[in-house]
């Protein structure tokens, strides 16, 4: 039920996110100061993407707050979106203040950098959402208590980063104006963010996974569909995060802007999935989306292997010819095109059988009826067979068959 209070909360939250994100981009446009290295390698394009991510979180959260004010999920999403969007503003102000090269500018940069660090604990709510999605609380009283403990411990880790002496943990080179906590640099080195995050993930991730698995096991049909949407967004974000991690390992430096952009775009699917799951808009389409994603992903991987293998083999065999590489590419393209459709049909059929069972069963039922229809000559048997087929395929509440009389 919509209430005046929820409408006010939603409007203010969305306004803060829009003003923060757009304000940060305007600061960058008016004062295009050089961007200093950041912990996560954010660049100009990454800031734009992060702004949209923050606005998306707040917008979906505002919609849920208006439509479902009984759930805390919308309010938490608004907080997350505001934290992301406002961080764009504080980062932009920090860079602009440093570019002034004055004592006052350095002081402003230190304050705005400290505010950027203070926004970190807000993002912890992202990891608390799996404990309360989609009902707004844990699946049992025990899991509800475990979720609150998880949130408290995660906030503790975030607080360690915020109060870390030395530089702001997100902005190396900017002195932390509130750095009076325990100094972790003798243990983890100068840049403690990655080490603290790794420890937090190792301690808390198993609890999060067990919570989602337990909820899925206890859930009914509707709640399982909601969880599938949520888990699909998380899975896509996890894949993007893995790509980002691999890029860091291979480059041996901070996260580049391109992997960060890919990760941010993937993270934008999580609030959208939460909104679809809670509002139940096209809820049961997730089975088809998952099955098609797996099917096309599998076919793409197989074709890539075939394409690459043929290129290597033919390039080696035809290395004496000037156009050996060209022939290899042409042959690989023709081979991949020839096997694409048969392979796609087979993979889709197998995936549908496992992940989109209802649709697969319905198609199989209709196909079998079509085969029997060729041999049915008795009108009564045909009507009974049609009735049974419709009930098996779409399970309607009632079935009626009307036969129109025709004059010879």
Please tell me whether residues 176 and 255 are part of one structural domain. yes
Please name which of 285, 262, 261, 263 lies closest in space to residue 273, comparing C-alpha atoms: 285
For 27-40, write each residue's pLDDT tens digit: 888 888 777 766 66
Residue 290 lies in a domain: no
Please tell me whether residues 8 and 139 are part of one structural domain. yes
Please tell me whether residues 264 and 138 are part of one structural domain. yes
For residue 183, the SS3 value is: coil
Residue 289 lies in a domain: no
Position 15 scores a pLDDT of: 93
Rounded distance between C-alpha atoms, residue 296 and residue 107, angstroms:
53
> CB under 8 Å to 80, separation ≥6 — which residues?
54, 57, 58, 61, 122, 123, 125, 126
Rounded distance between C-alpha atoms, residue 197 and residue 248, angstroms:
15
Beta partners for residue 171, in sequence order:
168
Q: Please give the sequence-ordered ranges of beta strands (E in DSSP) within 167-319, or none if there are none.
A: 167-168, 171-175
State which H helix or E strand residue 376 sits in: none
Q: Which of 313, 331, 355 is the last residue of a domain?
A: 355
Please tell me whether residues 260 and 366 are part of one structural domain. no
Please tell me whether residues 327 and 365 are part of one structural domain. no
Classify residue 2 as left (phi > 0), alpha (psi -120 to 50) or beta.
beta
Residue 39 lies in a domain: yes
Residue 286 lies in a domain: no
For 102-116, write each residue's pLDDT tens digit: 888 888 888 888 888
Q: Is the peptide bond before 176 cis (omega within 30 degrees of 0)?
A: no
Please tell me whether residues 201 and 53 are part of one structural domain. yes
pLDDT in tens, the chain (408 residues): 557 888 899 999 999 999 999 998 898 888 887 777 666 666 778 888 889 999 999 999 999 998 888 889 999 999 999 999 999 899 888 888 888 888 888 888 888 888 888 888 898 999 999 999 988 888 899 999 999 999 999 998 888 888 888 778 777 778 888 877 677 777 666 667 767 777 888 888 899 899 999 998 988 888 888 888 898 888 888 888 887 777 766 766 666 677 788 888 888 999 999 988 888 766 656 666 666 666 656 666 666 666 666 666 655 655 555 455 555 555 556 665 566 566 656 666 665 555 555 555 566 666 776 766 666 666 666 677 777 766 665 556 566 767 666 665
Q: What is the pTM of this model?
A: 0.71
Rounded distance between C-alpha atoms, residue 184 and residue 169, angstroms:
11
Rounded distance between C-alpha atoms, residue 362 and residue 217, angstroms:
26
Please tell me whether residues 77 and 192 are part of one structural domain. yes
- In degrees and rounded to multiples of 5, residue 178 shows phi and psi of -120, 30
DSSP 283-346: GGGHHHHHHHHHHHHHHHHHHHHHHHHHHHHHHHHTTTSTTHHHHHHHHHHHHHHHHHHHHHHH
Q: Which of 340, 355, 370 is the last residue of a domain?
A: 355
Position 60 scores a pLDDT of: 93
Residue 258 lies in a domain: yes
Please tell me whether residues 121 and 75 are part of one structural domain. yes
The total of structural domains in the chain comes to 3
Q: Which of 281, 315, 342 is the last residue of a domain?
A: 281
Say which residue the tokens 């049961």 belong to. Answer: 284
Please tell me whether residues 393 and 320 are part of one structural domain. no
Please tell me whether residues 188 and 269 are part of one structural domain. yes
Please tell me whether residues 273 and 329 are part of one structural domain. no
Domain containing 349 equals: 296-355
């Amino acid at each position: 039920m919509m209430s005046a209070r929820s409408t006010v909360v939603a409007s203010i939250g969305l306004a803060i996110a829009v003003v923060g994100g757009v304000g940060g981009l305007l600061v960058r446009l008016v004062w295009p100061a050089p961007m200093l290295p950041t912990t996560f390698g954010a660049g100009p394009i990454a800031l734009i993407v992060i702004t949209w991510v923050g606005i998306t979180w707040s917008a979906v959260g505002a919609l849920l707050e208006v439509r479902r004010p009984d759930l805390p999920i919308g309010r938490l999403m608004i907080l997350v979106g505001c934290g992301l969007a406002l961080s764009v503003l504080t980062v932009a102000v920090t860079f602009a203040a440093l570019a002034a090269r004055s004592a006052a500018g350095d002081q402003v940069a230190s304050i705005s950098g400290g505010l950027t660090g203070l926004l970190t604990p807000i993002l912890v709510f992202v990891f608390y959402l799996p404990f309360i999605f989609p009902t707004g609380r844990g699946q049992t009283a025990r899991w509800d208590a475990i979720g609150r403990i998880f949130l408290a411990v995660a906030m503790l880790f975030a607080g360690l980063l915020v109060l870390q002496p030395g530089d702001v943990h997100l902005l190396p080179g900017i002195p932390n104006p509130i750095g009076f906590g325990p100094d972790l640099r003798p243990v983890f080195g100068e840049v403690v963010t990655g080490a603290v995050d790794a420890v937090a993930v190792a301690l808390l991730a198993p609890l999060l996974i067990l919570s989602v698995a337990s909820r899925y096991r206890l859930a009914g049909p509707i709640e399982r569909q909601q969880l599938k949407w949520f888990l699909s967004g998380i899975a896509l974000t996890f894949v993007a995060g893995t790509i980002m991690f691999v890029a860091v390992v291979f480059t041996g430096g901070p996260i580049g802007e391109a992997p960060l952009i890919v990760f941010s775009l993937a993270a934008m699917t999580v609030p959208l999935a939460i909104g679809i799951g809670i509002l139940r808009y096209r809820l049961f389409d997730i089975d088809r989306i998952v099955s098609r994603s797996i099917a096309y992903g599998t076919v793409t991987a197989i074709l890539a292997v075939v394409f690459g293998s043929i290129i290597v083999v033919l390039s080696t065999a035809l290395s004496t010819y000037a156009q050996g590489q060209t022939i290899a590419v042409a042959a690989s393209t023709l081979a991949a095109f020839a096997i694409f459709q048969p392979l796609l049909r087979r993979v889709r059929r197998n995936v549908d059988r496992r992940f989109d069972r209802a649709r697969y069963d319905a198609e199989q039922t209709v196909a079998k009826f079509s085969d029997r229809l060729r041999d049915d000559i008795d009108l009564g048997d045909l009507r009974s067979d049609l009735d049974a087929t419709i009930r098996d395929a779409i399970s309607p509440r009632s079935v009626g068959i009307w036969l129109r009389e025709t004059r010879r």
